[in-house]
Amino acid sequence: MENCGDSRAQLDDTPRDECGVFGVWAPGEDVSKLSYFGLFALQHRGQEGAGIAVGDHDNIVVFKDTGLVSQIFDESVLDALQGDVAIGHTRYSTAGGNSWDNVQPMFRTSPNGTDVALAHNGNLTNYQELQAEAISRKLIPSGGVQGQGSSSDTAVVSALLADGIRDECTLFDAALDLLPRLKGAFCLMITDGDTLYAARDPHGVRPLSLGRLERGWVVASETCALDIVGASFVRDIEPGELVAIDATGIRSERFVEEPREARCVFEYVYVARPDSVLDGQTVNASRVEIGRRLARVQPVEGDLVMPVPESGTPAAIGYAEESGIPFKQGMMKNAYVGRTFIQPSDTLRQLGLRLKLNPVRTVIEGKRLIVVDDSIVRGNTQRKLIRMLHEAGAAEVHVRIASPPVKWPCFYGIDFASPGELIANHGRGGTDEEVAESIRTMIGADSLAFVPIDDMIAASNHPAETLCAACFDGKYPLGLPDGNPNADLVRRIQKGDTHHD
């Protein structure tokens, strides 16, 4: 995983998810534009790069670049991408740097001449082992070169998968051979220009849903992408399932016998869009319920409940409903702030947060505020935000967080800071109450409290044993990757050899 310790991360210390994937098989439809709109709906899952691969049964054409979906594609580009099947990807880099080489979909040609395009959401814990195999088989160069994208786990998987398509062995056969050897979290979208393939890891860490068009099928990371292209939800792709869609219909096969589910609970807290449905549970309903539970277990007197927009809004609504304290929007978010290539001066950098959020003085002046946010990672944003609210005339600022303290890094597709950079690991506290008091002092709040982990899990409406909450409790159901400095540090901490350095 990459460390986001650069100046941009210091201004925006929210957690970052790796990517979103989208696939469509729909002869006679404009599959490139369907993919564009699907990726637009999934833009929240990654803002560093995007791409679309379109197949017309004979060839696959890939167009990709760094930047936002709306910056990369225009009408002329989409019109040039003609075919019956397409896969798309929007990316934030957690494995491999943010260069064009690592933007997806990846493209390879198999030994028998079959073109293969692949897009991936997640992180593989046995990446180094797979990379060594690909290098030993001379499928990728040692050290990487321009155009090969070999610094990412997606490039390695693409190379291994394409090399398995030989003689009578089809892409479906090659996938069934390779998928059981992939460890970690992954959702894969693959095409050979004729068929759309989709696979979800045996733990179901990241979501993946199947939808029906009038003349085709869609698979996407979240149901919000199905909605935007007019597809009706059919079902979730099951953990450990490989699906193939072509003119003959849908084929499905399990590539593991006994999947052990470990859905990411942070999808419900932060990652997914509120209007998505993940494994049968509406994300918005989960977040509102977290807010209600937060109000019951962490009450505080105040004049109004306000969210940190936009991710804190559903939980703030739940908190207001349960507490009976009025809900108001005390901050306005600039909807047009995305990735910027303009580096501010030192003077303007001090105002960086105001580029995204600005307090509404007439709403908050003289008021005791209960500010609800989804999570705290480094604490930089909350510290600046509280200062802004006090400067705008707030009498008191009480912070309520709709998740437990984030104490551990994620190795399954969300880019948290290293353990030593997480604010929950600063100070001397061990219990959540002690951690909250330590953070409260650091960010300047009048009070600070987190929702307990049991309440957060209950709000997801899934049994605790089917969820991954490693970033909160340090229990990694998929294991830890080898050769990763943060993973090595976690091992030492869990053995008691060191603190969260």
Residues 35 and 132 in one domain: yes
Q: State how far the Cα of 284 lies from the Cα of 315, in Å rounded to an integer.
A: 9
Q: Residue 253's pLDDT is what?
A: 97
Q: Residue 9's pLDDT is what?
A: 35
Last residue of a domain, one of 245, 260, 275: 260
Residues 170 and 309 in one domain: no
Contact 39, 24 (CB under 8 A): no
Residues 200 and 297 in one domain: no
Residues 246 and 318 in one domain: no
Residues 232 and 326 in one domain: no
- Maximum distance among all Cα pairs of the chain, rounded to whole angstroms: 75
CA dist 164 to 181, 196, 365, 375, 403, Å?
13, 17, 65, 43, 43
Q: State how far the Cα of 413 lies from the Cα of 97, in Å rounded to an integer.
A: 14
Whether residue 275 is contained in a domain is answered as no
Residues 433 and 305 in one domain: yes
Q: Residue 346's pLDDT is what?
A: 56
Whether residue 4 is contained in a domain is answered as no
Q: State how far the Cα of 264 lies from the Cα of 414, in Å rounded to an integer.
A: 10
Whether residue 491 is contained in a domain is answered as no
Residues 222 and 292 in one domain: no
CA dist 31 to 24, 28, 38, 60, 404, Å?
7, 8, 10, 13, 41
* DSSP secondary structure letter of residue 327: B
Whether residue 176 is contained in a domain is answered as yes
Q: Residue 114's pLDDT is what?
A: 95
Binding residues: 264, 311, 373-374, 410, 468, 471
Residues 70 and 203 in one domain: yes
Whether residue 338 is contained in a domain is answered as no
Contact 67, 49 (CB under 8 A): yes
Residues 318 and 230 in one domain: no
Q: State how far the Cα of 43 lies from the Cα of 225, in Å rounded to an integer.
A: 10
Q: Which string of b and e fits 407-438 if b means at least 16 CB within 10 Å?
A: bbbbbbbbbbbbbebbbbbbeebeebeebbbb
DSSP three-state, residue 246? strand
CATH of the domain at 298: 3.40.50.2020
Q: Which domain covers residue 411, as residue numbers? A: 285-333+344-461
Question: What does the radius of gyration of the chain's CA atoms come to, in whole angstroms?
Answer: 23
CA end-to-end distance (rounded Å), the chain: 17
With a CB cutoff of 8 Å and minimum separation 6, the contacts of 330 are 304, 306, 359, 360, 363, 364, 369, 371, 389
CATH of the domain at 131: 3.60.20.10
Pairing of β 414-415 and β 396-401: unpaired
DSSP three-state, residue 368? strand
Of 351, 336, 415, the residue nearest 378 (C-alpha): 415
Whether residue 1 is contained in a domain is answered as no
Binding residues for Mg(2+): 311, 373-374
Residues 163 and 302 in one domain: no
Q: Residue 99's pLDDT is what?
A: 73
- What is the CB neighbour count within 10 angstroms for residue 228? 17
Q: Which of 4, 19, 187, 224 is catalytic?
A: 19
4 catalytic residue (yes or no): no
Whether residue 51 is contained in a domain is answered as yes
With a CB cutoff of 8 Å and minimum separation 6, the contacts of 74 are none
Whether residue 488 is contained in a domain is answered as no
Binding residues for [4Fe-4S] cluster: 264, 410, 468, 471
Residues 218 and 78 in one domain: yes
Q: Look at the pTM and tell me if it is higher than 0.85.
A: yes
Total number of domains in the chain: 2
Chunk the chain into consecutive blocks of 10 residues (it has 501) and report each block's average pLDDT, rounded to whole numbers: 31 60 97 98 93 96 94 96 97 63 93 96 93 93 54 89 93 97 97 98 97 97 98 97 97 92 95 95 97 98 95 96 97 69 53 78 97 92 93 97 94 82 80 90 96 97 96 95 90 78 53
Residues 87 and 20 in one domain: yes
Q: Residue 377's pLDDT is what?
A: 87
